[in-house]
Structure 1
Amino acid sequence: MFVDQEGADPNFTATGVVTGNRVTVTVTGEVDMSTADAMLRAATVDGAAAATLDLREVSFFDSAAIHALLQLADRYGEALLVHPSGQVRRVLEISGLSTQPWLSAD
Protein backbone atom coordinates (compact mmCIF):
# COMPACT_ATOMS: atom_id res chain seq x y z
CA MET A 1 0.00 0.00 0.00
CA PHE A 2 1.24 3.47 -0.89
CA VAL A 3 0.07 6.70 0.76
CA ASP A 4 1.08 10.13 -0.52
CA GLN A 5 0.31 13.23 1.54
CA GLU A 6 1.77 15.81 -0.81
CA GLY A 7 -0.01 19.04 -0.16
CA ALA A 8 -0.14 22.60 -1.40
CA ASP A 9 3.33 23.33 0.00
CA PRO A 10 5.82 22.58 -2.79
CA ASN A 11 8.58 22.18 -0.19
CA PHE A 12 6.90 19.21 1.52
CA THR A 13 6.07 15.58 0.82
CA ALA A 14 5.15 12.70 3.12
CA THR A 15 5.01 9.38 1.32
CA GLY A 16 4.08 6.22 3.17
CA VAL A 17 4.54 2.61 2.16
CA VAL A 18 2.95 -0.18 4.19
CA THR A 19 4.77 -3.50 4.39
CA GLY A 20 3.13 -6.06 6.64
CA ASN A 21 2.12 -4.19 9.78
CA ARG A 22 4.75 -1.40 9.44
CA VAL A 23 4.28 1.91 7.68
CA THR A 24 7.45 3.63 6.47
CA VAL A 25 7.01 7.34 5.82
CA THR A 26 9.59 9.37 3.94
CA VAL A 27 9.24 13.09 4.61
CA THR A 28 10.97 15.85 2.66
CA GLY A 29 11.06 19.61 3.01
CA GLU A 30 9.56 21.69 5.76
CA VAL A 31 7.36 20.24 8.52
CA ASP A 32 5.45 23.06 10.17
CA MET A 33 1.94 23.98 11.26
CA SER A 34 0.68 23.71 7.67
CA THR A 35 2.21 20.27 6.95
CA ALA A 36 2.60 18.46 10.29
CA ASP A 37 -0.91 17.01 10.10
CA ALA A 38 -0.17 15.51 6.66
CA MET A 39 2.93 13.83 8.12
CA LEU A 40 0.81 12.48 10.97
CA ARG A 41 -1.89 11.18 8.60
CA ALA A 42 0.69 9.47 6.39
CA ALA A 43 2.03 7.60 9.44
CA THR A 44 -1.30 6.60 10.97
CA VAL A 45 -2.76 4.18 8.47
CA ASP A 46 -5.23 1.47 9.46
CA GLY A 47 -3.60 -1.84 10.30
CA ALA A 48 -0.15 -0.42 11.00
CA ALA A 49 1.23 -1.50 14.37
CA ALA A 50 4.70 -0.05 13.76
CA ALA A 51 6.10 3.00 12.00
CA THR A 52 9.39 4.23 10.62
CA LEU A 53 9.67 7.96 9.99
CA ASP A 54 12.49 8.94 7.65
CA LEU A 55 13.12 12.64 8.29
CA ARG A 56 16.62 12.75 6.79
CA GLU A 57 15.49 15.14 4.03
CA VAL A 58 13.61 17.52 6.35
CA SER A 59 15.01 21.05 6.36
CA PHE A 60 12.68 22.67 8.92
CA PHE A 61 10.88 21.19 11.94
CA ASP A 62 8.80 23.35 14.30
CA SER A 63 6.65 22.87 17.39
CA ALA A 64 3.70 21.57 15.35
CA ALA A 65 6.02 18.94 13.91
CA ILE A 66 7.20 18.00 17.40
CA HIS A 67 3.58 17.69 18.51
CA ALA A 68 2.81 15.34 15.58
CA LEU A 69 5.92 13.31 16.37
CA LEU A 70 4.87 12.94 20.01
CA GLN A 71 1.42 11.79 18.88
CA LEU A 72 3.13 9.09 16.81
CA ALA A 73 5.27 8.11 19.80
CA ASP A 74 2.09 7.75 21.88
CA ARG A 75 0.43 5.67 19.19
CA TYR A 76 3.33 3.33 18.35
CA GLY A 77 5.44 3.34 21.52
CA GLU A 78 8.51 1.14 21.11
CA ALA A 79 7.42 0.25 17.58
CA LEU A 80 8.32 3.77 16.34
CA LEU A 81 11.69 4.46 14.73
CA VAL A 82 12.69 7.96 13.63
CA HIS A 83 15.66 8.75 11.37
CA PRO A 84 16.29 12.52 11.78
CA SER A 85 18.10 15.00 9.59
CA GLY A 86 20.73 17.15 11.28
CA GLN A 87 18.19 19.96 11.52
CA VAL A 88 15.54 17.72 13.09
CA ARG A 89 18.07 16.28 15.54
CA ARG A 90 19.06 19.80 16.60
CA VAL A 91 15.42 20.77 17.22
CA LEU A 92 14.87 17.59 19.24
CA GLU A 93 18.02 18.30 21.28
CA ILE A 94 16.83 21.83 22.06
CA SER A 95 13.38 20.51 23.04
CA GLY A 96 14.83 17.83 25.32
CA LEU A 97 13.74 14.90 23.16
CA SER A 98 17.12 13.72 21.88
CA THR A 99 17.29 10.75 24.26
CA GLN A 100 13.96 9.20 23.29
CA PRO A 101 14.20 5.49 22.49
CA TRP A 102 12.49 5.97 19.13
CA LEU A 103 15.21 8.35 17.86
CA SER A 104 17.77 6.58 15.69
CA ALA A 105 21.45 7.25 16.35
CA ASP A 106 22.26 7.54 12.63
Structure 2
Amino acid sequence: MNRREFKNGWKKRHIGVILLFKSLATGISLFVIIGLFSVVKGDWTLIVPYALYVGGFFIIIAALLSGALVSGDRLRANFSAETGEDRRRRLIWSTKLLFVGLPNIAGSLLIYCMWMK
Protein backbone atom coordinates (compact mmCIF):
# COMPACT_ATOMS: atom_id res chain seq x y z
CA MET A 1 0.00 0.00 0.00
CA ASN A 2 1.52 3.27 -1.03
CA ARG A 3 1.19 6.58 0.76
CA ARG A 4 -1.67 7.94 -1.35
CA GLU A 5 -3.79 4.80 -0.89
CA PHE A 6 -3.15 4.92 2.86
CA LYS A 7 -4.13 8.58 3.06
CA ASN A 8 -7.34 8.11 1.04
CA GLY A 9 -8.26 4.99 3.02
CA TRP A 10 -7.76 6.87 6.27
CA LYS A 11 -10.02 9.67 5.09
CA LYS A 12 -12.79 7.26 4.13
CA ARG A 13 -12.63 5.40 7.44
CA HIS A 14 -12.38 8.43 9.69
CA ILE A 15 -14.70 10.90 7.99
CA GLY A 16 -17.49 9.77 10.32
CA VAL A 17 -15.40 10.58 13.38
CA ILE A 18 -14.65 14.04 12.03
CA LEU A 19 -18.35 14.66 11.39
CA LEU A 20 -19.20 13.58 14.93
CA PHE A 21 -16.61 15.96 16.35
CA LYS A 22 -18.16 18.76 14.29
CA SER A 23 -21.58 17.90 15.68
CA LEU A 24 -20.20 17.80 19.21
CA ALA A 25 -18.55 21.20 18.65
CA THR A 26 -21.88 22.56 17.40
CA GLY A 27 -23.61 21.31 20.55
CA ILE A 28 -20.95 22.85 22.78
CA SER A 29 -21.25 26.12 20.84
CA LEU A 30 -25.00 26.16 21.39
CA PHE A 31 -24.43 25.61 25.10
CA VAL A 32 -21.97 28.50 25.23
CA ILE A 33 -24.44 30.74 23.38
CA ILE A 34 -27.13 29.82 25.92
CA GLY A 35 -24.67 30.65 28.69
CA LEU A 36 -23.87 34.02 27.16
CA PHE A 37 -27.58 34.72 26.80
CA SER A 38 -28.12 34.00 30.49
CA VAL A 39 -25.18 36.28 31.41
CA VAL A 40 -26.67 39.10 29.33
CA LYS A 41 -30.04 38.57 31.02
CA GLY A 42 -28.31 38.55 34.42
CA ASP A 43 -29.87 35.26 35.57
CA TRP A 44 -27.65 32.18 35.72
CA THR A 45 -30.63 29.93 36.34
CA LEU A 46 -31.75 30.35 32.70
CA ILE A 47 -28.96 28.04 31.52
CA VAL A 48 -30.55 24.89 32.90
CA PRO A 49 -34.03 25.04 31.32
CA TYR A 50 -32.90 26.50 27.99
CA ALA A 51 -30.11 23.99 27.57
CA LEU A 52 -32.51 21.17 28.47
CA TYR A 53 -35.03 22.43 25.91
CA VAL A 54 -32.43 22.71 23.15
CA GLY A 55 -30.83 19.35 23.98
CA GLY A 56 -34.19 17.65 24.32
CA PHE A 57 -35.33 19.04 20.98
CA PHE A 58 -32.30 17.66 19.14
CA ILE A 59 -32.50 14.29 20.90
CA ILE A 60 -36.21 13.91 20.10
CA ILE A 61 -35.57 14.73 16.43
CA ALA A 62 -32.71 12.19 16.45
CA ALA A 63 -35.00 9.55 17.93
CA LEU A 64 -37.66 10.26 15.31
CA LEU A 65 -35.13 9.98 12.49
CA SER A 66 -33.62 6.76 13.82
CA GLY A 67 -37.00 5.04 14.02
CA ALA A 68 -36.72 4.42 17.76
CA LEU A 69 -40.23 5.71 18.43
CA VAL A 70 -42.16 3.51 15.99
CA SER A 71 -43.58 0.02 16.42
CA GLY A 72 -41.91 -3.10 15.09
CA ASP A 73 -44.35 -3.52 12.22
CA ARG A 74 -43.83 0.02 11.00
CA LEU A 75 -40.06 -0.30 11.38
CA ARG A 76 -40.10 -3.49 9.30
CA ALA A 77 -42.24 -1.80 6.63
CA ASN A 78 -39.91 1.18 6.52
CA PHE A 79 -36.90 -1.12 6.32
CA SER A 80 -38.27 -2.92 3.27
CA ALA A 81 -39.45 0.28 1.55
CA GLU A 82 -36.28 2.36 1.80
CA THR A 83 -32.94 1.85 0.10
CA GLY A 84 -29.71 1.21 1.92
CA GLU A 85 -28.39 4.65 1.01
CA ASP A 86 -31.50 6.35 2.42
CA ARG A 87 -31.23 4.36 5.63
CA ARG A 88 -27.54 5.18 5.98
CA ARG A 89 -28.15 8.89 5.42
CA ARG A 90 -31.03 8.91 7.91
CA LEU A 91 -28.95 7.20 10.59
CA ILE A 92 -26.00 9.54 9.99
CA TRP A 93 -28.27 12.55 10.52
CA SER A 94 -29.76 10.92 13.59
CA THR A 95 -26.30 10.41 15.09
CA LYS A 96 -25.25 13.97 14.26
CA LEU A 97 -28.34 15.41 15.95
CA LEU A 98 -27.78 13.20 18.99
CA PHE A 99 -24.25 14.55 19.35
CA VAL A 100 -25.55 18.12 19.06
CA GLY A 101 -28.06 17.52 21.86
CA LEU A 102 -25.85 15.61 24.30
CA PRO A 103 -23.55 18.49 25.37
CA ASN A 104 -26.58 20.63 26.18
CA ILE A 105 -28.18 17.93 28.33
CA ALA A 106 -24.88 17.08 30.03
CA GLY A 107 -24.02 20.75 30.64
CA SER A 108 -27.39 21.59 32.09
CA LEU A 109 -27.31 18.57 34.39
CA LEU A 110 -23.77 19.46 35.48
CA ILE A 111 -24.74 23.06 36.27
CA TYR A 112 -27.87 21.91 38.09
CA CYS A 113 -25.93 19.44 40.24
CA MET A 114 -23.14 21.89 41.05
CA TRP A 115 -24.88 25.22 41.63
CA MET A 116 -28.61 24.77 41.94
CA LYS A 117 -28.75 22.68 45.11
Give the TM interval when normalised to the shorter protein: under 0.3
Greater fraction of residues in helix: 2
Structure with bigger gyration radius: 2
Give TM-score scaled by structure 1 length. 0.28
